[in-house]
Structure 1
Amino acid sequence: MIILDTERLSLREFTPLDAPFLLELLNEPGWLRNISTPGVHCRDDALAWAEARLFKAYRELGHGFWAIERHEDGELVGMCGLFKRPTLPEPDLGYALLARHERRGYALEAARGCVVHARQVMGWKTLMAITALDNQPSVSLLGKLGFVEEGQKQLEGYNEPSRVFRLAL
């Protein structure tokens, strides 16, 4: 199901058919360095991860992290979306791209679409985001979207503190 379209991209719900893509994304060096080490080593692991982290959120929350698909060829380039973590007071924006698709503006374009969706469709007044302490590209992207850094917080499930950002919608 397509959630939103931007100039070059569609954001849609992931499906079980996307397991090979998720296996690749979850094992990207950038994911492992800046997000987590999910222990996903095969297609079945990717499906289990998707059920717990993606499909469950779609069913229970009506939103989550969505597949970023290019209009031109339908290729998946990453994920971006809105998620309500129990450790943050407001929903947050998250994104990740395959390294070969970075530096093309896809993350910013998808994130802008999600910010508009949060405000216009979800009716939210505030959106948060988190990054690894040394993830300067994400800090820069969040700044372009108008997020303001609030400090650092140790979040459950992370080994190191995260930088925490907020955006009034």
Structure 2
Amino acid sequence: MSLEDAGFILDLYNRPKFIQFIGNRNLKTVADAENYIQNRFLPQFDRLGYGNYLMITKEGNHKIGGVGIFEREGLDVLDIGFSLLDEFERKGYAYEAASKIKSVGMNDFGLKKISAITTKDNFASQKLIEKLGLQFRKYVTIPDDPEELMYYETE
């Protein structure tokens, strides 16, 4: 993700499913999205060499979502995450992208474990996380979010 993706992030992060399952990031303008990218995504890339990537279609190069490996406050193991525009769900894009990111994290960056978190009612994400080979371990809460989340981890 780069600053030029701010308009897309503004759209994606304000979708009802994103807010319901991932959370409200309170992005109201393109400038808010640029600041979010500048302050949340880019520093992790500078520090670790990886982070949040733009998901695009092979045909037409349409921006359809985001996928990445993230440092999350309250989690000891780096977290794989993904989000997709509603109209591109259930087509295999998220699995293909998340599978690739997991492979890059483990093979290219030497990560020994990857985790994932999701809400108890996000059955599509639970299914995808399990398809990626992560297994449910426990329920967790993360700072500034009272909701109990499902925590998954690789072997």
Aligned-pair distance for 1:159?
Answer: 3.1
**SS of the residue 1:125 aligns to:** coil
2:69 match: 82
Q: Look up the SS of the partner of 1:82 in the other structure.
A: strand
Structure 1: 4+ residue segments shifted above 6 A: none
Helix, strand or coil at the partner of 1:159: strand
- Whether 1:58 and 2:66 are equivalent positions in the alignment is no
28-37 or 154-163: bigger deviation: 154-163
Per-residue CA deviations over 1:120-158 (Å, capped at 9, x if unaligned) read: 101111110000121110000111111110111111132
Distance 1:128 1:91 in 2: 6
Provide the rounded CA distance (Å) in 2 between the counterparts of 1:129 and 1:25: 20
> What are the within-5 Å matches in structure 2 for residues 149-168 of structure 1?
149-168=136-155
Q: Quick one: distance in 1 between partners of 2:152 and 2:79?
A: 9
Q: For structure 1, which runs of at least 5 residues remain unmatched after alignment?
A: 1-13
Unaligned runs of 5+ in 2: none
Say if 1:69 and 1:77, in contact at 8 Å, map to a contact too.
Answer: yes
Q: What SS class does the counterpart of residue 126 from structure 1 fall into?
A: coil
**Could you tell me the percent identity over the aligned residues?**
29
What is residue 102 of structure 2 aligned with on the other side? 115
* Residue from 113, 128, 144 that aligns with 1:141: 128
Instruction: Name 2:83's counterpart in structure 1.
Output: 96
Paired AA for residue 21 in structure 1: F
Number of equivalenced pairs: 155
Question: TM-score with structure 1 length normalisation?
Answer: 0.88
Offset at residue 85 of structure 1 (A): 1.6
Q: CA deviation at 1:62?
A: 1.4
Secondary structure of 1:37's aligned partner: coil
Aligned mates of 1:99, 1:137 — CA distance in 2? 12
RMSD, matched Cα: 1.0
The 2-side partners of 1:157 and 1:104 are apart by 33
Structure 2 length as normaliser, TM-score?
A: 0.96
- 1:95-117 CA distances to partner (integer Å, 9 max, x unpaired)? 00011111110000001101111
What is the one-letter code of the residue matched to 2:83?
Answer: A
- Partner of 2:146, secondary structure, is coil
Rounded Cα–Cα distance in structure 2 between residues aligned with 1:160 and 1:105: 28
| Aligned twin of 1:33 | 20
